A = this chain, B = another copy of it.
Amino acid sequence: MTRFSSAAKNGLTPAALEALLREVGAARYHNRHPLHHKMVSGALSRVQLQAWALNRYCYQAIIPRKDAMILARAEDPGFRAEWRKRIEDHDGTNGWDGGIARWVKLATGLGLDEAMVKSERLALPATRFAVGAYLSFCTERSLLEAVASSLTELFSPVIIGERVPAMLAKYDYVTEDILAYFKPRPVQASRDAEFALAYVLKYADSPRKQQAVIDALVFKCDLLWSMLDALEHAYGEDGHIPPGAFDPGAA
């Protein structure tokens, strides 16, 4: 945070701001997290993958709600029409034929019960707090900051490009069908990130706003990182599963 705080003092050109945003991602996006490295190296157990899918469901489930909050705060119909595509991608036409449904398929494909996953009842409290913080952020901060917090999508095609082939190669029970969620994501994420980046570069037109969008991206990277930290602490080698959370070893 310190590192990125001082850089924007004198106001940046759009190109310099974009470079700084990409630098935040290079330093802090969760493709650098040890749990991601374990995942793509094939080192995770089935239970660890289940815990990941189960907790990540809570994140997937909040996305259309945070996007609806952004929609609710946007005055420009053109902006809303563009941003609405995100909600459509995740909710589909009937709520259960879009990205959220495909994430459920991933979770059940790994052997989890659908109703349990959807209830979010056994997710880690830390996951719930992180996901809640995302919705609060998009509710309470400026529209510009809410948009900027979505810019982790700039980096998601890379992590998906690492994750999908590695999971198919390293875990014999993982199939293309189970990973169907990821298939349309790189195209969708690139389209969305391009739009959000252009918006941020246009409207972050003062040092204060530039600092705010950098901080928003740092916040979002921290959030994704904290979700993997919580998973690793709970389900790592000498795991410390908190009371009440998913525990396949329990009675």
A233 to B129, CA, bound (A): 17
The reply to whether A226 and B129 contact each other, CB–CB distance below 8 Å, is yes
Q: CA–CA, A240 to B228, complex, Å?
A: 11
Contact A244-B28, Cβ < 8 Å, known A136-B136, A233-B229: yes
Closest to A131 in B: B129
Q: Scan residues 29-71 of chain A and give those whose CB is less than 8 A from a CB of chain B.
A: 34
User: How many A residues, CB 8 Å from partner?
Assistant: 31
> How far, in Å, is A78 (CB) from chain B's closest CB?
32
In the complex, A133 has a CB within 8 A of chain B: yes
Shortest CB-to-CB span from A80 to chain B, Å, is: 25
Task: Say yes or no: is A27 at the interface (Cβ < 8 Å to chain B).
Answer: yes
Most chain B CB atoms below 10 A, which of A2, A230, A243: A243
A218 interfacial by beta-carbon distance below 8 Å: yes
Which one, A120-128, A149-157, A159-167, A188-196, is touching chain B? Answer: A120-128
Closest 5 CB pairs of A and B: A125-B222, A233-B233, A129-B129, A129-B133, A1-B244
7 interchain pairs (CB within 8 A)? A2-B121, A125-B219, A125-B223, A125-B226, A126-B129, A226-B230, A229-B234
